[in-house]
């Protein structure tokens, strides 16, 4: 099995439980790891036999643009959309990081990870 990583996808979105977050928005970083056999793509230099990184980024941005209260919810949507798009993947890892969350404390970020 091989792994393709698309890391540090930076997105500005309006996720959060507080009403202010829906108005102000915030920074998010998404990492995606896709596990598959891309031997044919490597041997034949064929994009159709692997995962298109451009499409991975598009899916992440599309899903991040749909407001959710919880990053758990948007993370699951990203995971499911990737799974539906790239059936050749045996395993998918999605990490959604919320930068500088508005919690009463000095915290750089919070993150969720979904993988199967």
Cα–Cα dist 105/36, whole Å: 40
Quick check: pTM over 0.85? yes
> What are the sequence ranges of the domains in the chain?
2-115
Question: What's the average pLDDT block by block, 10 residues per block, for the chain (116 residues)?
Answer: 97 90 91 98 97 98 97 98 97 97 91 97
* Spatial strand order in the sheet of 2-13: 2-13, 26-36, 91-99, 109-115
Architecture of domain 2-115: 2-Layer Sandwich (3.30)
Tokens 């915030």 locate to: 26
């Amino acid at each position: 099995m091989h792994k393709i990583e698309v890391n540090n996808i930076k997105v500005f979105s309006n996720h959060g439980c507080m009403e202010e977050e829906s108005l102000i928005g915030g920074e998010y970083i998404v990492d995606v790891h896709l596990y598959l056999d891309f031997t044919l793509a490597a041997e034949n230099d064929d994009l159709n036999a692997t995962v298109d990184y451009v499409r991975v980024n598009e899916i992440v941005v599309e899903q991040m643009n749909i407001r959710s209260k919880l990053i758990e919810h948007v993370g699951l949507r990203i995971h499911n959309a990737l799974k539906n798009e790239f059936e050749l993947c045996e395993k998918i890892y999605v990490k959604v990081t919320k930068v500088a969350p508005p919690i009463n404390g000095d915290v750089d970020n919070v993150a969720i990870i979904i993988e199967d």
